[in-house]
């Protein structure tokens, strides 16, 4: 699929990107090449290919033990706060 200049300008507008006239041909070419590559991937024969449930099937992934390594300093951190209640910072209401 080949994109036109107008297509890229519309994409840039939707994405809120500021593209100069000098950059526009580069974007047209790059985005067209990306879309062409995606079309090639879509044409690959995937019949009979079973989806992978896990990339490391048959292997064991080493995991560390889930242990607490830091102590709770919440009270010390909240000592400087102007308003705290039940371990939460109280802030002024900004939206009515």
Give 38-73 as a DSSP string.
Answer: HHHHHTS--TTPPPPS-TTTTS----------S---
Question: Would you say residue 79 lies in a domain?
Answer: no
Question: Would you say residue 85 lies in a domain?
Answer: no
Is 63 within 8 Å of 56 (Cβ atoms)?
no
CATH code for the domain of 19: 1.10.20
Q: Model confidence over 30-82: pLDDT tens digits?
A: 999 999 999 999 888 888 888 887 777 777 778 888 888 889 999 999 999 99
Q: Per the structure, how many domains does the chain have?
A: 1
Question: Would you say residue 22 lies in a domain?
Answer: yes
- pLDDT category, 83, cuts 50, 70, 90? very high
Question: Would you say residue 74 lies in a domain?
Answer: no
Q: Assess whether pLDDT exceeds 80 at residue 87.
A: yes
Structural domain boundaries enclosing 22: 5-41
Q: For 26-32, what is the mean pLDDT?
A: 95
Question: Would you say residue 87 lies in a domain?
Answer: no
Question: Would you say residue 84 lies in a domain?
Answer: no
The two structure tokens encoding residue 96? 């009515």
Question: Would you say residue 95 lies in a domain?
Answer: no
Residue 7's pLDDT is 94
Question: Would you say residue 76 lies in a domain?
Answer: no
């Amino acid at each position: 699929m080949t994109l036109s200049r107008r297509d890229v300008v519309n994409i840039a507008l939707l994405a809120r990107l500021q593209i100069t006239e000098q950059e526009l041909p580069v974007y047209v070419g790059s985005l067209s090449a990306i879309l062409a590559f995606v079309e090639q991937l879509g044409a690959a024969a995937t019949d009979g290919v079973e989806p992978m449930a896990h990339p490391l099937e048959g292997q064991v992934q080493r995991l560390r033990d889930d242990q607490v390594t830091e102590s709770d300093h919440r009270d010390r951190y909240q000592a400087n706060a102007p308003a705290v209640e039940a371990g939460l910072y109280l802030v002024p209401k900004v939206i009515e």
